[in-house]
């Protein structure tokens, strides 16, 4: 077989075909074929620009666009023959175009290189992926707002060091996740701005001698800006690394959320119930109901962290401009986007269906002296220094541990043995409701503040 037959795009310089194993080893078509839609989109815009620049005739442009449209239909119908010997998605589509429309198909690549072509395709693809991911974040946030509004008055223990700290509203706790996701949304929106810069026209590395008009392709493809340096245009993968960094943070948040759901569904906590459709059973223990979705999302965070580390490592030693190393950028990027999107989708489906066990949460909040700080604050308002109050309440807690009584369960006489400043109005601050309602400020856990935060959250989502 001739080199020209095997390597249709670049075989002229070679005297023998590429080794069969090397052809498979260096080919990317098995994974980059998912870029087909964006590759065709970019090619149509490029052909349109070439005609307006006088490089192609109107008839040639129309033949190319018609051929590419038919090829996209073939691919989406599952009738396209992907060939490893053609290396990648770009050459597979170009070869098929030439089969369809003849020599005119070979003119499509005028004024561009696979270097700027693939850089453009990835940006177009990632731009669309970010848009889908952003929608899933919003959908998950809508579910959190719904649950927070419905359960603003439900009291649960708040934790530090996984020890009972102070009572909080269940709705308030869920809104912490809303805040994290808001930051994830902001990061991805900001990341999208740098993704949406067009490298097409950089050609192999130095630009092209043809009279291209990059403003035309920029407008047709919906890019916000044109890359200002051709060397950087073909070799930059910062945008992919930045996306994986944002995705890693989002997956870290989902992993933390997952950890809480796993704890809360355990028999030891029993705070919430997950619907059966998000759980699985055991092949040997019939009583088991395993929180597989949160556990799997928690585990999948490692895949995205790995993608970020892999891309940083991929790029750290590369000189300008394009290098074959960059073929390795796609699989981790694809996997990171797929993993984040699917994890968000699973959570967006699951969160609205969570059912808190209200009485169990309340009873847990009653244990662990969660209103101890409220008693200290009560004494401060009576004129005592906070450090003295801290010590007084510490003795009261020590007494409670010894007697098995929570602060609210002690009699007034029992409490007064620690300070004669304690009056019979103390019980209003020792109740769970009193503790939660007292934190009535922006960002606080009072139910009124939770409802106000929900309103602000709804307004934020409506403005997107």
Q: Looking at the annotation, which residues are catalytic?
A: 161, 282
Rg, Å, the chain Cα set = 31
Q: How far apart are CA 170 and CA 164, in angstroms?
A: 14
Q: How far apart are CA 295 and CA 457, in angstroms?
A: 28
Q: How far apart are CA 255 and CA 262, in angstroms?
A: 10
Under DSSP, the state recorded for 287 is T
Contact 36, 69 (CB under 8 A): no
Alpha helices by DSSP H, listed for 77-113, are 89-101
* First-residue to last-residue Cα distance in the chain: 57
Residues paired with 166 in a beta bridge? 158
Taking Cα atoms as reference points, which of 457, 460, 376, 406 lies closest to residue 172? 457
Q: What phi and psi, each to the nearest 5 degrees, are found at residue 105?
A: -60, -30
Q: What is the DSSP string of 34-45?
A: GGHHHHHHHHHH
| Vertex 387: Cα angle to 381 and 390 (nearest 5) | 80
Contact 397, 165 (CB under 8 A): no
Contact 86, 30 (CB under 8 A): no
Over the range 369-403, which residues count as b (16 or more CB within 10 Å of their CB) and which as e?
Answer: bbbbbbbbbbbeeeebeeeebeebbeebbebbeee
CA distances in angstroms from 406 to 356, 409, 415, 427, listed in the order given? 24, 5, 11, 12
CA distances in angstroms from 436 to 58, 74, 152, 163, 356, listed in the order given? 72, 62, 11, 18, 18
- Burial class of residue 19 (count of CB atoms within 10 Å of its CB; 0-12, 13-18, 19+): exposed
| Vertex 113: Cα angle to 108 and 116 (nearest 5) | 115
Tokens of 249: 């943070």
Q: What phi and psi, each to the nearest 5 degrees, are found at residue 322?
A: -75, 140
């Amino acid at each position: 077989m001739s080199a020209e037959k095997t390597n249709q795009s670049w075989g002229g310089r070679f005297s023998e075909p590429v080794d069969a194993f090397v052809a498979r080893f260096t080919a990317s078509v098995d994974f980059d074929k998912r870029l087909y839609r964006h590759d065709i989109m970019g090619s149509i815009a490029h052909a349109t620009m070439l005609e307006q620049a006088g490089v192609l005739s109107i008839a040639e442009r129309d033949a190319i666009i018609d051929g590419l449209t038919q090829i996209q239909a073939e691919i989406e119908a599952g009738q396209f023959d992907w060939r490893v010997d053609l290396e990648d998605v770009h050459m597979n589509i170009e070869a098929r175009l030439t089969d369809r429309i003849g020599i005119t198909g070979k003119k499509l690549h005028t004024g561009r290189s696979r270097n700027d072509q693939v850089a453009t395709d990835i940006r177009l693809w990632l731009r669309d992926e970010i848009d889908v991911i952003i929608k899933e974040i919003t959908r998950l946030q809508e579910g959190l707002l719904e649950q927070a509004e419905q359960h603003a008055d439900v009291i649960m223990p708040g934790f530090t060091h996984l020890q009972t700290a102070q009572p909080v509203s269940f709705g308030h706790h869920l809104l912490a996740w809303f805040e994290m996701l808001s930051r994830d949304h902001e990061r991805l929106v900001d990341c999208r701005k740098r993704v949406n810069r067009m490298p097409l026209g950089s050609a192999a590395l130095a630009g092209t001698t043809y009279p291209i008009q990059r403003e035309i392709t920029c407008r047709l493809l919906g890019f916000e800006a044109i890359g200002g340096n051709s060397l950087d245009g073909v070799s930059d993968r910062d945008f992919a690394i930045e996306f994986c960094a944002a995705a890693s943070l989002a997956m870290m948040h989902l992993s933390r959320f997952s950890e809480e759901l796993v704890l809360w569904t355990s028999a030891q906590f029993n705070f919430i119930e997950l619907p059966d459709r998000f759980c699985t059973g055991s092949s040997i223990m019939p009583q088991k109901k395993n929180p597989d979705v949160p556990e799997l999302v928690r585990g999948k965070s490692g895949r995205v962290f790995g993608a970020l580390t892999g891309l940083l490592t991929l790029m750290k030693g590369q000189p300008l401009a394009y290098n074959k190393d960059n073929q390795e950028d796609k699989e981790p990027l694809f996997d990171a986007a797929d993993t984040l999107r699917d994890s968000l989708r699973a959570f967006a489906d699951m969160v609205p269906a969570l059912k808190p066990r209200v009485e169990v949460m309340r009873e847990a909040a009653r244990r662990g002296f969660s209103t101890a700080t409220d008693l200290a604050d009560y004494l401060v308002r009576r004129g005592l220094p906070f450090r003295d109050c801290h010590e007084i309440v510490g003795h009261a807690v020590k007494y409670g541990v010894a007697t098995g009584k929570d602060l609210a369960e002690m009699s007034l006489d029992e409490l007064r043995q620690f300070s004669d400043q304690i009056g019979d109005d103390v019980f209003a601050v020792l109740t769970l409701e009193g503790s939660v309602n007292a934190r009535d400020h922006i960002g606080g856990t009072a139910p009124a503040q939770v409802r106000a935060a929900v309103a602000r959250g709804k307004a934020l989502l409506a403005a997107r």
